[in-house]
């Protein structure tokens, strides 16, 4: 399940390209030593905010396969749009049970994926070290939503109440099976699957009072 899913499309943000630094001439070194030096530099690069509580972050993407020989790799965004992903300024990975900031040299849109390169990685062997790592952002940096909108993670554990005032349970998870998002609502041993269709089934979302009002019955 995608961990980050916008309930309504977010306002489109302009793609930002990070400025490239002019390459500097370096003395040639044996490949093994150069690899070790750059790898050490890459790990040092992910040093900021290492003591921050991991619950303050949310999953927004995943690093995939490498691309070419110069240290690029594909990155799969979990946001509603690629533009939303590219609007964030800081990204983090979970390293040794701590969140550590990563420094991208650039992020470029490529169909449904993103081509990415870390600033200190310049060959395929170094890029493979970061393969399959999850990418996180701070929840505090997510765009603010309207009063009756919510992110998936905000819906979890909310009470679900129908128009007759019956409490149907609590949201255990939010899933997408293709047609639309679905709330998995549990109450004791009972589980309800409620389609997330706004204004028809989902009447309102009350974040201050932590409940969702639905047009749904226990025996549906």
Mean pLDDT score, 90-105:
87
Mean pLDDT score, 182-204:
93
- Give the per-residue pLDDT at 6: 42
Rg of the chain, C-alpha, whole Å: 21
Cα–Cα nearest to 61, from 5, 134, 127, 140: 134
- Give the per-residue pLDDT at 214: 96
Q: For residue 81, what are its two tokens?
A: 């749009």
- Give the per-residue pLDDT at 19: 44
Share of the chain above pLDDT 90, in %: 34
- Give the per-residue pLDDT at 145: 81
* Residue 150 and residue 171 in contact, taking contact as beta carbons nearer than 8 Å: no
- pLDDT band of residue 51 (cuts 50, 70, 90) is low
Cα–Cα nearest to 78, from 210, 174, 147, 171: 174
Transcribe 175-203 into DSSP letters. Answer: EE-SSSEEEEEEETTEEEEEE--BTTTEE
Q: Is 172 helix (H, G, I), strand (E, B) or coil?
A: strand
Q: For residue 96, what are its two tokens?
A: 């040794």
pTM of the model: 0.60
Indicate whether 172 pLDDT > 60: yes
**Distance from C-alpha of 84 to C-alpha of 141, rounded to nearest angstrom:** 11
In eight-state DSSP terms, residue 3 is: S
**Domains of the chain by start residue, with CATH:** 31-141 (2.40.30.60), 152-214 (2.30.30.240)
Window from 11-15, 69-73, 89-93 with minimum mean pLDDT: 11-15
């Amino acid at each position: 399940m995608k961990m980050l899913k916008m309930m309504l499309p977010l306002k489109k943000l302009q793609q930002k390209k990070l400025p490239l630094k002019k390459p500097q001439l370096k003395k040639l070194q044996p490949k093994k030593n150069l690899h070790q030096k750059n790898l050490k530099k890459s790990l040092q690069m992910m040093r900021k905010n290492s003591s921050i509580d991991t619950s303050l972050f949310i999953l927004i993407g995943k690093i995939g396969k490498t691309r070419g020989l110069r240290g690029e790799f594909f990155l799969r965004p979990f946001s509603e749009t690629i533009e939303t992903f590219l609007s964030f300024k800081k990204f983090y990975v979970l390293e040794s049970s701590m969140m550590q900031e990563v420094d991208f040299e650039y992020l470029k849109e490529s169909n449904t994926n993103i081509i990415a390169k870390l600033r200190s990685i310049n060959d395929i062997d170094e890029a493979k070290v970061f393969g399959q790592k999850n990418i996180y952002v701070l929840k505090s940096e997510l765009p603010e939503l309207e009063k009756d909108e919510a992110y998936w993670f905000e819906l979890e554990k909310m009470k679900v109440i129908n128009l007759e005032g019956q409490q149907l349970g609590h949201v255990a998870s939010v899933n997408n099976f293709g047609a639309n998002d679905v709330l998995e609502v549990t109450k004791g041993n009972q589980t309800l699957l409620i389609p997330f269709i706004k204004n028809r089934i989902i009447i309102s979302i009350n974040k201050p009072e932590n409940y969702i009002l639905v047009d749904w019955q226990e025996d549906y």
